[in-house]
Amino acid sequence: MNKQIRNQILNLSRLIFNEEEFNKILYYLDGNLLVDLRLFIDEKVDLLSAISEMDNCNNELNQQITLCNELEDIVIDAYLEKTM
C-alpha cells in the first residue's frame, strides 16, 4: 500500500475512532490485514447506524457514518489494488 493511501486511512480514522479503536486500525494496517480492517470499519458503520436510528436528528453521527463509508471504500480499493 502506498504512503498516500495509508495516510488517508489514518487521517480519516482519527476523526472517527477512539484511541483504542485507532490502535486496532494501526495493527491491521501494519499487518496488511485489509480484509480485517474493512470488517472492523463495517462493524463501526453498523453500530453508528443503529444509534442513528434511535437519534434521528444527530448530524454529527450522520457525518461519522459518511466518513466511515468513505474510509471503507478506500480500504476496499487498497485491497483490490493489492490483489491485482
pLDDT one digit per residue (tens) for the chain, 84 residues: 789 999 999 999 999 999 999 999 999 999 999 999 999 999 999 999 888 888 776 788 889 999 999 999 999 999 999 888
Query: So where are the chain's domains?
Result: 3-83
Share of the chain above pLDDT 70, in %: 99
- At position 41, the amino acid (one-letter code) is I
Give the burial string for 50-73 (b: 16+ CB within 10 Å, else e): eeeeeeeeeeebeebbebbeebbe
Considering the entire predicted model, what is its pTM?
0.88
- Residue 14, classified by CB atoms within 10 Å of its CB into exposed (0-12), middle (13-18) or buried (19+), is exposed
Within 10 angstroms of residue 12's Cβ, the number of other Cβ atoms is: 19
